[in-house]
């Protein structure tokens, strides 16, 4: 049985296999063909943080696959009143077929997975957001940009940045990360990515200069400057991130055919200008839709691997 907690647990071949499955199921869905890959299966969806895309993509996705999603907000279940992850896992995983969790520390999802009888999917932790990256790469594939791919991530060295690092490390493309000083990616995660890069040929370029990062990039991406759980730091962060907005001047430095991606929700005229967000290079809503298709690929793949050790 496999879990989907971070891309570091996955090989290039496995990531591409899941994406291939996502493309196949997307085509079927577009033709209104709904094959019941997960007939009668129940997906438990535990949320300790807010969500629009993750909740809707998993809930719609499992339903379209022939199963049903069970939304479990931590404010409603006993987890929110202090029942341990280990006990919650041992109970819920005996009653459902797969679990998706959005939580704070990554160690919490690891704890749940350790005790779970069923596959566990990371729907975002403070450290990683791997399901988002699968949708992002699907969008890059559809844009025909996988060859000589150069991704520039500008913004906070957060869960998104860490997952970009893992994706690039596994697939072997060039990733530039520009953060303000003091907001760099975690060093241990960068070290781990560098280890994988030895095999994949990935190139990393870490800087505090956004202009340097986006020059000649083929994908430009960013994320909110204030992630969930960091609301108290908002005032300071808005000051520290000055100059890191992706606006049309910044986009002009990238390749002419470059695309703009954002996991959403976007805070316009902070990390991205309204003009870029709404502009022709922006594929953010295709990217958001791809959450549905990528999530289905992940669920079906995990279901197929269920009996493997
Ligand atoms: N991108 C993303 O995960 O969005 P939600 O927080 O709305 O799920
Ligand atoms: N980095 C953001 C992503 C939201 C989808 C957060 O963790 O809040």
Q: Count, in order, helices (H) and strands (E) of the chain.
A: 12, 9
Give the mean model confidence (pLDDT) for residues 147-170: 98
**Catalytic residue status for 2:** no
Nearest ligand 1 atom to the CA of 264 is: 1
Q: Work out whether strand 203-207 and strand 219-222 pair parallel, antiparallel, or are unpaired.
A: unpaired
- Whether residue 259 has pLDDT greater than 60: yes
State which of 47, 49, 53 you would mutate to test the pocket of ligand 1, scoring each by most atoms of that ligand within 8 A of its C-beta. Answer: 53
**Catalytic residue status for 129:** yes
- Whether residue 27 has pLDDT greater than 70: yes
Give the mean model confidence (pLDDT) for residues 126-144: 98
- pLDDT value of position 308: 76
pLDDT level of residue 295 (50, 70, 90 thresholds): very high
Give the residue whose CA is nearest to atom 3 of ligand 1.
54
- Per the CB < 8 A criterion, the answer to whether 258 and 213 are in contact is no
Residue extents of the structural domains in the chain: 7-129+291-306, 144-282
Give the mean model confidence (pLDDT) for residues 150-156: 98
Can you give the pTM of this predicted structure? 0.97
In short, whether 263's Cβ falls inside 6 Å of ligand 1 is yes
Query: What is d(CA 30, CA 26) in angstroms, rounded to the nearest whole number?
Result: 6
State which of 224, 262, 287 you would mutate to test the pocket of ligand 2, scoring each by most atoms of that ligand within 8 A of its C-beta. Answer: 224
- Its CATH architecture, for the domain 7-129+291-306, is 3-Layer(aba) Sandwich (3.40)
CA distances from 13 to 104, 121, 134, 135, 200 (A): 29, 19, 13, 17, 11
Q: Regarding the domain delimited by 144-282, which CATH topology (the fold level of the hierarchy) does it fall under?
A: Rossmann fold (3.40.50)
- Whether residue 309 has pLDDT greater than 70: no
- Per the CB < 8 A criterion, the answer to whether 250 and 242 are in contact is no
In short, whether 52's Cβ falls inside 6 Å of ligand 1 is yes
- Per the CB < 8 A criterion, the answer to whether 94 and 114 are in contact is no
Give the residue whose CA is nearest to atom 6 of ligand 2.
227
- pLDDT value of position 307: 77
| Catalytic, out of 3, 53, 102, 106 | 102
Q: Which residues line ligand 2 (CB under 6 A)?
A: 124, 158-160, 223-224, 227-228, 263
Instruction: Return mean pLDDT, the chain.
Output: 97
- 7-129+291-306 and 144-282 agree in CATH topology: yes
């Amino acid at each position: 049985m496999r879990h989907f907690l971070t891309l570091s647990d996955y090989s290039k071949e496995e990531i591409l296999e899941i994406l291939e499955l996502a493309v196949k199921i997307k085509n079927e869905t577009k033709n209104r063909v709904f094959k019941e890959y997960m007939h009668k299966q129940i997906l438990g969806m535990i949320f300790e943080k807010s969500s629009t895309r993750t909740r809707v993509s998993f809930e719609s996705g499992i339903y379209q696959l022939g199963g049903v999603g069970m939304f479990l907000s931590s404010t409603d279940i006993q987890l929110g009143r202090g029942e341990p992850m280990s006990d919650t896992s041992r109970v819920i995983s005996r009653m459902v077929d797969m679990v998706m969790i959005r939580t704070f520390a990554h160690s919490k999802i690891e704890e749940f997975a350790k005790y779970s009888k069923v596959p566990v999917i990371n729907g975002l932790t403070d450290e990683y957001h791997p399901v988002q990256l699968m949708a992002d790469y699907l969008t890059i594939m559809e844009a025909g940009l996988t060859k000589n791919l150069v991704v520039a991530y500008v913004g906070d060295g957060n869960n998104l940045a860490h997952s970009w690092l893992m994706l690039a490390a596994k697939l072997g493309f060039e990733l530039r990360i520009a953060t303000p000083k003091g907001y760099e990616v975690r060093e241990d995660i960068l070290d781990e990515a560098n280890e994988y890069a030895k095999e994949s040929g990935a190139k990393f370029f870490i800087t505090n200069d956004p202009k340097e990062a986006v020059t000649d990039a083929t994908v430009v991406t960013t994320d909110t400057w204030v992630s969930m759980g960091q609301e108290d730091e908002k005032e300071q962060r808005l000051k520290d991130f000055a100059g890191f907005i992706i606006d049309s001047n910044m986009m002009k430095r990238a390749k002419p055919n470059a695309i703009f991606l954002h996991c959403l929700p976007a805070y316009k005229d902070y990390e991205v200008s309204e003009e870029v967000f709404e502009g022709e290079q922006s594929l953010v809503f295709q990217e958001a839709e791809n959450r549905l298709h990528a999530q289905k690929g992940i669920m079906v793949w995990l279901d197929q691997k269920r009996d493997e050790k």
